[in-house]
């Protein structure tokens, strides 16, 4: 007899598992299909984020930063660290244990909320039927009143640098190095490339980042991007813009990379090469030809603002649809869809989805950049505050960067908050909360912020928008 569910979710990543749990909490009979298996051959939930993305990379970023601080920055605190060494396999093992605990936690949440886990590959057929193919090749068909497609994304391959997961690796392979490469190349100066490059540079690798674009971090505010480039260069990352890779050759456990830049044809030899040029949606064999769901030529599924596809009762969330590939975007889309299926009104404010780069200093922003607003013809006032003037940042010896608040020149409504510096992600989230409720720069300036905190930098930047900052000299309004 064919199993029937109110909701069937294909994919147990941040979009899928959250959607499944929320749907079950709302009283819907829910199943979630997942095919990913860990090194032990066991089904692992959590998708790219928990298994080979957000979480493991942050574990390595934190471990490598502690080593970097102990090696180069403890002396100023009067702490002397002699004979410091790094045990890379132990660091990787810690990362793997964190991943195992979190993915196991999702499985526990499925059980606690009554979500049925179906192990295997899910494929949407006509009439909202879903085919599940197990690792043993056996198939079963299940019926669904509603289907949520959440199959995620995977790293993009490029012909000039084919992945072998030995010398030339993608982001997954870069999380498994068992020793620090002497010379490391990174193709791509985006979020993934900068984060992974930072990890291994802190541990002693000589890192060169090859970026095809002439502009650094084009999605970020230009002032923030300029500060970031200066900081990363000072940290030892050799970031070469306008460098387009044309080929590579692996020989004797090294790779020679050919590229062109403003100076012509170049080549450089690395011990390891990370390809981090972006990700693409995983929609191969996800949809039967008669499923009725429309996709574009790049494999993205067409959806409206509520993540509904061209087929009533079929939705898609996360990396397989338009917008930034962010775990928190996927999760909120999953919640929104589950609530709409249950008959509730729900929506997402896509204008206020924060972006974060977890380097050190962190880079984060929400809302629009100064350049976007100028292009749109919006007159703005801008306030900035450097962490160099923050007592809390001084106490922590972490004074690089700044907070930037952009407000409408007429209404004073905050249109963007941009931060590079300590706890940037947390500070931007404070800005996002205020912006969701239509805060003005004056509102933020009138709030009482505890002292001494890094948050005071946001307070002062908001005050600076209207020339009222206390702890820096105020600039004239633009």
| Residues known to be catalytic | 451
CA nearest to 316, candidates 12, 15, 105, 50 = 15
State how far the Cα of 92 lies from the Cα of 219, in Å rounded to an integer: 31
User: Which CA distances in Å does 385 have to 219, 421, 473?
Assistant: 21, 11, 10
Work out the burial of residue 343: count CB atoms within 10 Å of its CB; fewer than 13 is exposed, 13-18 middle, 19 or more buried.
exposed
Residue for token pair 């029937």: 4
- Three-state DSSP state, 16: helix
Q: Is the distance from CB of 337 to CB of 348 less than 8 angstroms? A: no
Extract the tokens encoding 98. 């964190």
Between CA 347 and CA 349, with CA 348 as vertex, the angle to 5 degrees is 130
Strands 30-34 and 3-10: parallel
State how far the Cα of 33 lies from the Cα of 35, in Å rounded to an integer: 7
| Residues across the chain | 478
The DSSP secondary structure of 139-158, one letter per residue, reads: EEEEEEEEEEE---EEEPP-
Residues 6 or more apart whose CB falls under 8 angstroms from that of 297 comprise none
Residue for token pair 């085919």: 131
Strand ranges (E), 150-263:
153-155, 168-169, 183-187, 206-211, 238-241, 244-251, 254-261
Residue for token pair 């067409």: 302
State how far the Cα of 380 lies from the Cα of 377, in Å rounded to an integer: 9
- Give the torsion through C-alpha atoms of 475, 218, 322, 120, to 10 deg: -120
């Amino acid at each position: 007899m064919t199993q029937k569910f109110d909701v069937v979710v294909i994919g147990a990543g941040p979009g899928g598992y959250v959607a499944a749990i929320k749907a079950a909490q709302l009283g819907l009979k829910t199943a979630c299909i997942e095919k990913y298996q860990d090194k032990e051959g066991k089904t692992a939930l959590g998708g790219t984020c928990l298994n080979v993305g957000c979480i493991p990379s942050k574990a390595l970023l934190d471990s490598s930063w502690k080593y970097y601080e102990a090696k180069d920055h403890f002396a100023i605190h009067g702490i002397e660290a002699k004979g410091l060494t790094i045990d890379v396999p132990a660091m990787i093992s810690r990362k793997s244990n964190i991943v195992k605990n979190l993915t196991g936690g999702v499985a526990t949440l499925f059980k606690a909320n009554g979500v049925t886990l179906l192990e295997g590959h899910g494929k949407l057929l006509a009439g909202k039927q879903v085919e599940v193919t197990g690792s043993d090749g056996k198939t079963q068909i299940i019926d669904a009143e509603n289907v949520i497609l959440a199959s995620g994304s995977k790293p993009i391959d490029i012909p000039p640098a084919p992945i072998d997961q030995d010398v030339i690796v993608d982001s997954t392979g870069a999380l498994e190095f068992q020793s620090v490469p002497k010379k490391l190349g990174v193709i791509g100066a985006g979020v993934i490339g900068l984060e992974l490059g930072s990890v291994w540079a802190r541990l002693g690798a000589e890192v060169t980042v090859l970026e095809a674009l002439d502009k650094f971090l084009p999605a970020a505010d230009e002032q923030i991007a300029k500060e970031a480039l200066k900081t990363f260069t000072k940290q030892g990352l050799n970031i070469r813009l306008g460098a387009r890779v044309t080929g590579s050759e692996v020989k004797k456990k090294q790779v020679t990379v050919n590229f062109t830049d403003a100076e012509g044809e170049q080549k450089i030899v690395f011990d390891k090469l990370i390809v981090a040029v972006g990700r693409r949606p995983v929609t191969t064999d996800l949809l039967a030809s008669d499923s009725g769901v429309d996709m574009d030529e790049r494999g993205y599924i067409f959806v409206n603002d509520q993540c509904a596809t061209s087929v009533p009762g079929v939705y898609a969330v996360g990396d397989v649809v338009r917008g930034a590939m962010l775990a928190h975007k996927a999760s909120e889309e999953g919640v929104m869809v589950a609530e709409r299926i249950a008959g509730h009104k729900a929506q997402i404010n896509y204008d206020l989805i924060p972006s974060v780069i977890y380097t050190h200093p962190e880079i984060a922003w929400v809302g629009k950049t100064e350049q976007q607003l100028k292009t749109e013809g919006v007159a703005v006032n801008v306030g900035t505050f450097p962490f160099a003037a923050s007592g809390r940042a001084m106490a922590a010896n972490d004074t690089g960067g700044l907070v930037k608040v952009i407000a409408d020149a007429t209404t004073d409504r905050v249109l963007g908050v941009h931060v590079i510096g300590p706890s940037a992600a947390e500070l931007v989230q404070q800005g996002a909360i205020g912006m969701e409720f239509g805060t003005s720069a004056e509102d933020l300036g009138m709030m009482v912020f505890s002292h001494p905190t890094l948050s005071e930098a946001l307070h002062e930047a908001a005050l600076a928008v209207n020339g009222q900052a206390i702890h820096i000299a105020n600039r004239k309004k633009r």
